[in-house]
Amino acid sequence: MNQLEQLKQYTTVVADTGDFHTMQSFQPQDATTNPSLILKAVQKPEYLPLLEQTVQAHRGKSSSEIIDHLLVAFGLKILAIIPGRVSTETDARLSFDTEGTITKARQLITLYEAAGISRERVLIKIASTWEGICAAKVLQQEGIRCNMTLLFSFPQALACAEAGAQLISPFVGRIYDWYKKATGTDYSGADDPGVQSVQRIYTYYKKFGYSTEVMGASFRNTSQILELAGCDLLTISPELLQKLNDTTAPPVQRKLSPAQAAQASLQKISLDEKAFRLALNEDAMATEKLAEGIRLFCADSVKLEALVKQFG
C-alpha cells in the first residue's frame, strides 16, 4: 500500500481544498474549505461558471448573501463526491462577534437544509477566539456542529472542548512556520513544535474523555502528517495527498492512540474567560498567528466580495 492508503488505516483523511475535481482521486472521507481556498478555486477557469451561476441566481442580494450561497454551492458539489462532512467557514470579520457568528452559522445551515442536506453532514468553521468559542457552545446545543479553526494553542483547545465543539483544527504548519522563523531551526519529525502541539491536545482529550475530535491541519510536509498518524482526522492539501499517494516507504506507523493517551500522567485543567485570555496572551506564537490568520481570512473575504461584485 502507498502511504495514503496506510494512513487511512489509522486516521480519517480529509481533503483541504475547494477544488472538488482534484479531490475525487484521493477518496477522502470529509473535506474542508475556507475563504482563501474558495477564492483560489473561483479564479480557475473550470470553476468560473459556478461563480457566474451563483451571482446570476441571486442577483439583487447583498454581496455577503451571495457569498453564503457560493460557499454552500461549493459545499454541495463536494458533498456529492465525499461520503462524510464538509466544513464551511463563517466570515472571519465576525471572529470577535458572538451573536454575529451564531446568526451566520444558522444562515449557512438553513441554506444547506433547503438544498436537502442534513446538518449532520456540515461543520461550520469558526475562529477559536473566546467569542467564537462562546458561539460554538450555543450552536452545538442547537445541533449545529462546529469546526474550530485558527487554533494554535492548548488553552484554545481546552476551551473548545469544554464548550462541546464537534471538532478542532490545530494549525500544525503555521506553528512550525513561527518557530522556524523565531529560532532559525528547521524542525522535523517528532521535534516539530506543530506536531508536538497536536500530540499534547490529542493526549489530553483522550485522557479525560472529551468527545471533541482533533483534526490536524495546515501541513507543510508529509513528515508532519506521518508523525500524527492515529489522530482522529488530518486535513491535507491535494499536493501533499499526491505525495503520500506516490510514496510507499517508509511504512506508516501509528503514533497516536487512545490507549497510549490513557497512560499519560496529566492533571485536569479548567479555564474561565480571564484565565483563557491571559494564557493565550502569554503565548506569543499563538497570539501572533491567531491575529495574522484572522487578518488574512478577512482580506480574502474582501477579495471574494470584490470578485462577486464584478460579476454582479
The full set of domains in the chain, from first to last, is 3-311 (3.20.20.70)
Is the entire prediction scored with pTM above 0.85? yes
pLDDT at residue 18 in the model:
87
Query: C-alpha grid cell for residue 309?
Result: 461584485
Q: CB-side exposure of 276: number of CA atoms within 13 Å?
A: 19
Q: DSSP characters for the chain?
A: --HHHHHTTTSEEEEE-S-HHHHGGG--SEEE--HHHHHHHHTSGGGHHHHHHHHHHTTTS-HHHHHHHHHHHHHHHHHTT-SS-EEEEPPGGGTT-HHHHHHHHHHHHHHHHHTT--GGGEEEEEE-SHHHHHHHHHHHHTT--EEEEEE-SHHHHHHHHHTT-SEEEEBHHHHHHHHHHHH-----GGG-HHHHHHHHHHHHHHHTT---EEEEB--SSHHHHHTTTTSSEEEE-HHHHHHHHT---SPP-----HHHHHT---------HHHHHHHHHH-HHHHHHHHHHHHHHHHHHHHHHHHHHHH-
pLDDT at residue 171 in the model:
98
Report yes or no: 304 and 47 within 8 Å, Cβ to Cβ.
no
pLDDT at residue 34 in the model:
86
Catalytic annotation, residues: 125
Query: C-alpha grid cell for residue 143?
Result: 445541533
| Alpha-carbon span 169 to 308, nearest angstrom | 28
Report yes or no: 26 and 78 within 8 Å, Cβ to Cβ.
no
pLDDT at residue 47 in the model:
92
| Alpha-carbon span 194 to 11, nearest angstrom | 18
Report yes or no: 234 and 225 within 8 Å, Cβ to Cβ.
yes
pLDDT at residue 20 in the model:
86
Write out the chain's pLDDT in tens, 312 residues.
999 999 999 999 999 998 888 898 899 999 998 888 899 999 999 999 999 999 999 999 999 999 999 999 999 999 999 999 999 999 999 999 999 999 999 999 999 999 999 999 999 999 999 999 999 999 999 999 999 999 999 999 999 999 999 999 999 999 999 999 999 999 999 999 999 999 999 999 999 999 999 999 999 999 999 999 999 999 999 999 999 999 999 999 999 999 999 999 999 999 999 999 999 999 999 999 999 999 999 999 999 999 999 887
pLDDT at residue 69 in the model:
96
| Alpha-carbon span 110 to 117, nearest angstrom | 9
> SS3 string of 3-48?
HHHHHCCCCEEEEECCCHHHHHHHCCCEEECCHHHHHHHHCCHHHH
| Alpha-carbon span 262 to 223, nearest angstrom | 25
Q: State CA 77 to chain mean position distance.
A: 18
